């Protein structure tokens, strides 16, 4: 069964069809939440809340990019979770941590240090900039997809990416992670 048919059946109340959509998108949704929130439990909660919200709102989906629609809901759930926690998150970037297979212990330590600096740097970015950087540079979405997820224009996405990348670069340079 294709995605369009699963969506149509879900809109008619077919929970099994919706569960198939959840299975198709749960990994990308969880990865976004984890990178935005930095904690597995918070990411699991936000992902679950997002899929519950998607189920409640599936009748309002009017077509287009379903992945962008669901990730927009995940991003909103992350924002709500951050508000609930009232803290600046320590963003997880485990996927970016340097993990050499045959590297020396010194290189392994440098890779772990870089990963930690990246996590700390992302955690300092304003939410919208962090979301844009995570979606583009970590998740690999196009500017158009990010604009749909963030419900903004492509120009706004470019601006947030530029600002976020500049702040992250400055943060890493201050710590001597990268040279000038």
Q: How many domains does the chain have?
A: 2
Return the structure tokens found at 45: 């909660």
Full domain range(s) for residue 42: 3-85
91 in any annotated domain: no
Instruction: Indicate whether 135 belongs to any domain.
Output: yes
pLDDT tens, 7-32?
Answer: 999 999 999 999 999 999 999 999 99
CB atoms within 10 A of CB 129: 21
Task: Give the CATH number of the domain where residue 153 resides.
Answer: 1.10.10.10
Q: Which residue has the higher pLDDT, 179 or 162?
A: 162
Rounded to whole angstroms, the maximal C-alpha distance in the chain is 57
Per-residue pLDDT tens for 61-82? 998 899 999 999 999 999 988 8
Q: Which of 54, 56, 89 is nearest to 73 (CA)?
A: 54
Does the residue 149 lie in any domain? yes
């Amino acid at each position: 069964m294709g995605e369009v048919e699963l969506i149509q059946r879900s809109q008619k109340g077919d929970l099994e069809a919706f569960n198939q959509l959840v299975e198709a998108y749960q990994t990308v949704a969880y990865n976004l939440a984890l990178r935005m929130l930095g904690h597995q439990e918070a990411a699991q909660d936000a992902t679950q809340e997002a899929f519950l919200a998607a189920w409640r709102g599936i009748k309002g989906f009017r077509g287009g990019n379903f992945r962008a629609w669901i990730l927009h809901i995940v991003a909103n759930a992350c924002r709500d979770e951050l508000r609930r926690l009232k803290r600046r998150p320590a963003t997880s970037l485990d996927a970016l941590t340097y993990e050499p297979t045959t590297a020396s212990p010194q290189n392994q330590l440098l890779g772990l240090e870089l990963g930690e600096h990246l996590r700390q740097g992302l955690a300092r970015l304003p939410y919208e900039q962090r979301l844009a950087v995570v979606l583009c540079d970590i998740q690999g979405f196009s500017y158009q997809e990010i604009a749909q997820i963030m419900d903004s224009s492509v120009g706004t996405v470019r601006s947030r990416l530029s600002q976020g990348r500049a702040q992250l670069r400055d943060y890493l340079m201050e710590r001597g992670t990268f040279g000038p």
